[in-house]
A and B are shown apart, each in its own frame.
Chain A
Amino acid sequence: MTLTTFFQHTLTGISLGGAYALIAIGYTMVYGILRLINFAHGDIFMMAGYFMIFSMASLPWQIAIPLVCILSVALGVAIERVAYKPLRSAPRMSIMISAIGVSYLLQNLATYLFTALPRSYPEIPFLKKIFQIGPVSASLVTFITPLLTLLLVVGLMFLINHTKFGMAIRAVSKDFETAQLMGIRLNNTISLTFVIGSLLAAVGSILYFTDRMSVTPFSGTLPGLKCFIAAVLGGIGSIPGAVVGGFVIGICETVLVALGYSTFSDAFTFILLIMILLVRPTGLFGEKIIDKV
């Protein structure tokens, strides 16, 4: 591998990692607050892809992008209200099955509405412009993704650490009941995490699919699982952890594909998961939780 191809692949990896990081934040926040793997998150990401296709069909991108964000947020909050809220006090397994059910529903609904054939993703002209830095060339979206990711994460960190909403989220994820006793509106706070998660998933979806060109009803499953693993790698509940995890998995995957092991790149992610859970179950930045009997 020459130095140029190395840089080329690193750049692609960082860009992919940025999109992964944005989705991983959604997982880590929901897990932090509800202790639930939101299996439907990957499918919200997929649906955002379809929303983009249909809104770009008749609208300019300046309007389409906010519209996609709004629709994804509405979908995310609706899922929380319908499928997760009634199960707050149910056993852990029921709420997980409910999450799987939502994911199954969204996939089947997408197959039903848009057929299982891949649909081509609309091009946003300025994002596809090719840039040349020295010998390395890439489209603008490759450069924008990591920058936008970092920008959004900084904004999110500010929201979590320095605003009232953020304080509420932190309180609820520490302790449900106590937070409620302190006058925090539980349902609003949980909805807020879904708003943030779905918004970031929508942005991630635009960045991810612009590079991939097509969407199918199942294109959310694997990225979804990988991003959950990224969240575990970084330490579930920790936003910087999710970002680091997203970048690590994105870069590792691109490197494996570049080396010609593309079929094993998915397998690698899961082996990574098992390794992390064995060696350091709390992830890189996670806090240790002690179970009391």
Chain B
Amino acid sequence: MKKSTKIICSSILFILVIAFLYFLDSNKNQYGMAYSVLQKGIIMAVVAVSMNLVTGFTGLFSLGQAGFMAIGAYVTAIFLIPTEHMEGVYYISGASPVIMTFKGWLDSLPAWFQALTPYIALLIGGLIGALFAALIGIPVLRLKSDYLAIATLGFSEIVRAVISSPQMDTITNGSYGLKKIQGFSSLFQTFAIATVCIAFMILLLRSTYGRAFRAIREDEIAAEAMGINLFKHKQLSFIVGSFFSSVSGGMLAMFMRSIDSKTFSISLTYDILLIVVIGGIGSATGSILSAILVTLSKEWWLRFFDNPLTIGGFQIPFFRAGFRMVIFSVILLVIVLFYQRGLMGKNEFSWDRIALQFVKLKNINKKVAKEGGSKNVE
């Protein structure tokens, strides 16, 4: 396919997406479900790509996503709770004076700066997450696969324990969680932030760093022999991945408007792992696709699994609360056992591939069984 055709295709897709988002945004009330589910889907896409960056591309099996998301979410939340609601949110033990002074200072800034607060909050949440990643990366990244998994899982549990501890009451409001967080202004804001994040990660993966990550995944010793600084690259991948996990945590906080430490339990990491595995370990676009598909089906299309269903007076068994999640865990197992490449395997989305599929389809339809019928496609 020619480059110009590809550009045309991409721009058509882009315009279609924008038009669709515009349509949804202007008919928010009518399509409330699609509106919120898509928002959640794109947020999950950010964290799924960040997990894929660390796990799928660099081969570091890290299960700390929920912990980094929690850090990002709490930092963003503290930034974005309007000052007049602070007292109401921290009604148990009051907010710490440091936070209150900080909020006062934030409110005294000029109006144009106020408008930027959500972005700055997400950025700072991400940076704090990245800082933690840098600190724990030094000891933890020396570990091999399963030990790394359990150590990062442990980190995520530590974060959760610390957040919900009574000692942190004046900062994180302990186990009561934070409420009344300022949300996204529109669907576009969510999608724009997510697109920037994902684009950054994809660009990183296409750079020399991305190639080095893949080399480390394939064979650490060979990569080191080729002059790749193992520790530096592992650290970089881990920090960048954690940065975007934290940003997506902040976005999740803005989306949900209220968070508590239970939101960021181990099962959140497992949910993200499910998305990454379905999308294909080692495919960023696969993760995006599967994040949206999985979130759509989990929160919307497959909701009916959780409600008793009666067809023609016959009550179908099994359909009751919790059945949906059973189905999803079975899907995860089936994919790992029988279809390990997931939706996309290690491939990325490309127009060439789609064109190839089209041509194949056409050939089948026309029943062109001639030898070499598909050879002249390329």
Interface residues of A in 51-103 (CB under 8 A from B): 82-83, 86-87, 90, 92-94, 96-98, 100-103
B139 sits at the interface (CB 8 A): yes
Interface residues of B in 20-46 (CB under 8 A from A): none
Q: When the two chains form their complex, are residues A102 and B333 in contact, meaning their CB atoms are under 8 A apart?
A: yes
Segment touching A, from B121-129, B154-162, B198-206, B347-355? B154-162
Q: When the two chains form their complex, are residues A225 and B150 in contact, meaning their CB atoms are under 8 A apart?
A: yes
A271 sits at the interface (CB 8 A): yes
Q: Complex: how many Å from CA A35 to CA B149?
A: 13
A211 sits at the interface (CB 8 A): no
Q: Complex: how many Å from CA A101 to CA B325?
A: 12
Total count of chain A residues near the partner, CB < 8 A: 47
Segment touching A, from B11-19, B140-148, B185-193? B140-148
A-side binding surface: helix, strand, loop or mixed? Answer: helix
**Chain B residue nearest to A116 in the complex (CB):** B322
Q: Complex: how many Å from CA A201 to CA B126?
A: 40
Contacts of A263 in B (CB 8 A): 161-162, 164-167
B340 sits at the interface (CB 8 A): yes
Q: When the two chains form their complex, are residues B147 and A277 in contact, meaning their CB atoms are under 8 A apart?
A: yes
Q: When the two chains form their complex, are residues A92 and B146 in contact, meaning their CB atoms are under 8 A apart?
A: yes
Segment touching A, from B229-237, B266-274, B285-293? B266-274
Q: When the two chains form their complex, are residues B267 and A93 in contact, meaning their CB atoms are under 8 A apart?
A: no
**Chain B residue nearest to A260 in the complex (CB):** B166
Q: Complex: how many Å from CA A256 to CA B344?
A: 48
Q: When the two chains form their complex, are residues B337 and A112 in contact, meaning their CB atoms are under 8 A apart?
A: no
Q: When the two chains form their complex, are residues B145 and A96 in contact, meaning their CB atoms are under 8 A apart?
A: yes
Partner among A83, A100, A277, A293 whose Cβ is within 8 Å of the Cβ of B270: A100
Q: With contacts defined as CB atoms under 8 Å apart, how many contacts are there between chain A and chain B in the complex?
A: 122
Q: Complex: how many Å from CA A133 to CA B329?
A: 49
Q: When the two chains form their complex, are residues B158 and A267 in contact, meaning their CB atoms are under 8 A apart?
A: yes
Contacts of A281 in B (CB 8 A): 143, 147
Q: When the two chains form their complex, are residues B332 and A104 in contact, meaning their CB atoms are under 8 A apart?
A: yes
Q: When the two chains form their complex, are residues A278 and B158 in contact, meaning their CB atoms are under 8 A apart?
A: no
Partner among B165, B320, B329, B340 whose Cβ is within 8 Å of the Cβ of A104: B329
A221 sits at the interface (CB 8 A): yes
**A-contact 0/1 string along B165-187, CB 8 Å cutoff:** 11100000000000000000000
Known: A105-B326, A105-B330. A267 touches B162 (CB 8 A): yes
Interface residues of B in 323-378 (CB under 8 A from A): 323, 325-326, 328-330, 332-333, 336-337, 340
**Chain A residue nearest to B306 in the complex (CB):** A112
**Chain A residue nearest to B159 in the complex (CB):** A267
Total count of chain B residues near the partner, CB < 8 A: 47
Q: When the two chains form their complex, are residues B267 and A90 in contact, meaning their CB atoms are under 8 A apart?
A: no
B321 sits at the interface (CB 8 A): yes
Partner among A83, A98, A108 whose Cβ is within 8 Å of the Cβ of B322: A108
Q: When the two chains form their complex, are residues B150 and A107 in contact, meaning their CB atoms are under 8 A apart?
A: no
Q: Complex: how many Å from CA A225 to CA B146?
A: 12
Interface residues of A in 237-271 (CB under 8 A from B): 263-264, 266-267, 269-271
Known: A94-B340, A98-B337. A225 touches B157 (CB 8 A): yes
A179 sits at the interface (CB 8 A): no
Q: When the two chains form their complex, are residues B325 and A270 in contact, meaning their CB atoms are under 8 A apart?
A: no
Q: Which residues of B contact A (CB under 8 A)?
A: 55, 59, 61, 136, 139-140, 142-143, 145-147, 149-151, 153-155, 157-158, 161-162, 164-167, 221, 266-267, 270, 273-274, 277, 281, 320-323, 325-326, 328-330, 332-333, 336-337, 340
29 contacts between A and B (CB under 8 A): A37-B150, A83-B337, A87-B336, A87-B337, A92-B146, A93-B59, A93-B281, A94-B340, A96-B145, A96-B149, A98-B336, A101-B329, A104-B270, A104-B329, A104-B332, A105-B329, A112-B321, A113-B322, A225-B150, A225-B154, A228-B150, A264-B162, A267-B158, A267-B162, A270-B155, A274-B136, A274-B139, A277-B139, A281-B143
Extra pairs beyond A104-B270, A112-B321, A277-B143 (15, CB < 8 Å)? A82-B337, A93-B145, A93-B281, A97-B277, A104-B329, A108-B328, A112-B323, A263-B161, A269-B154, A270-B151, A270-B155, A274-B136, A277-B139, A278-B139, A281-B147
Q: Which residues of A contact B (CB under 8 A)?
A: 35-37, 82-83, 86-87, 90, 92-94, 96-98, 100-105, 107-109, 111-113, 115-116, 221-222, 225, 228-229, 232, 263-264, 266-267, 269-271, 273-274, 277-278, 281, 293
